[in-house]
Amino acid sequence: MKIAFEPELSADVRQRVELGVDLHNVAVTQLPDFYAPVTFLLREDNGELRGGLLADIWGGWMHVSYLWVDAPLRHRGWASKLVRAAEKHAVAHGVHDVHLETFSFQARPLYEKLGYTVFATLDDFPPGHQKHFLRKKLATEVHRGSRRK
C-alpha cells in the first residue's frame, strides 16, 4: 500500500472517490441514495456559454457549488434567474433547504437579496478576505406558492 500524489486524475478516479464517500454517507444516515446533479446554463442563441449554476441534491438539500455569469452580462438579473430556476427545480425534487459558499469579493449581496442568510464566516480566507456560508429554507416558498393557487 502506498500514498500517491496524482494532481491530474481521470474522471473515473474522481467518480470512484466520490462514490466511496456517497456510499458511506448513505449507509450511516440511512437516507436514500438519491443524488441528482443540478445544472442550469445561460447560453446565447448560437449556443455560446455565458453563465451557469452547478449544484447537487442529496438528503433534502441542494448545495450550490458554482454560480457564474460572464462579466459583460452581470448586473442584468441573469444570476438571480439561474438561482431561482435551480431552486424551483430543487423544490420539485423534494428539497427543503439550500446551502452554498461565497467569498467576500463574490456574490454575498446577491444571495442575501434572494433570501439567503449567513450562518458562518471563515475569516482571512484567502488572506484579507472572508468565506461566507449561507443557507435558505425553501419549504416556506413552497407553502407561499401553494397559497397563491
Entry field: residues in the chain: 149
The answer as to whether 21 is a domain residue is no
- In the block, which residue shows the cell 438519491? 34
Each residue's pLDDT, cut to its tens digit, for the chain (149 residues) gives: 999 898 998 999 988 998 888 888 888 988 876 788 999 999 999 999 999 999 999 999 999 999 999 999 999 999 999 999 999 999 999 999 999 999 999 999 999 999 999 999 999 999 999 999 999 999 744 444 443 33
> Does residue 14 sit within a domain?
no
Q: Assess if residue 142 is contained within a domain.
A: yes
Contact 111, 134 (CB under 8 A): yes
What is the domain extent for residue 46?
A: 33-148
Q: Does 40 map to a domain? A: yes
For residue 112, the domain's CATH number is 3.40.630.30
For residue 36, CA distances in Å to 2, 63, 129, 145 come to 33, 11, 32, 24
pLDDT given for residue 21 in this prediction: 86
pLDDT at 143: 42
Domain-located, residue 19: no
Spell out a b/e string for 91-117, using b for 16 or more CB atoms within 10 Å of the CB, else e: beeebbebebebeeeebbebbeebbbe
Question: What pLDDT score does 33 carry?
Answer: 65
Residue 77 within a domain: yes
Inside any domain, residue 85: yes
Q: What share of the chain is helix, strand, coil (3-state, %, to 5)?
A: 35, 35, 30
How many domains does the chain fold into?
1
Note whether residue 55 is domain-resident. Answer: yes
Name the grid cell of 5: 500524489
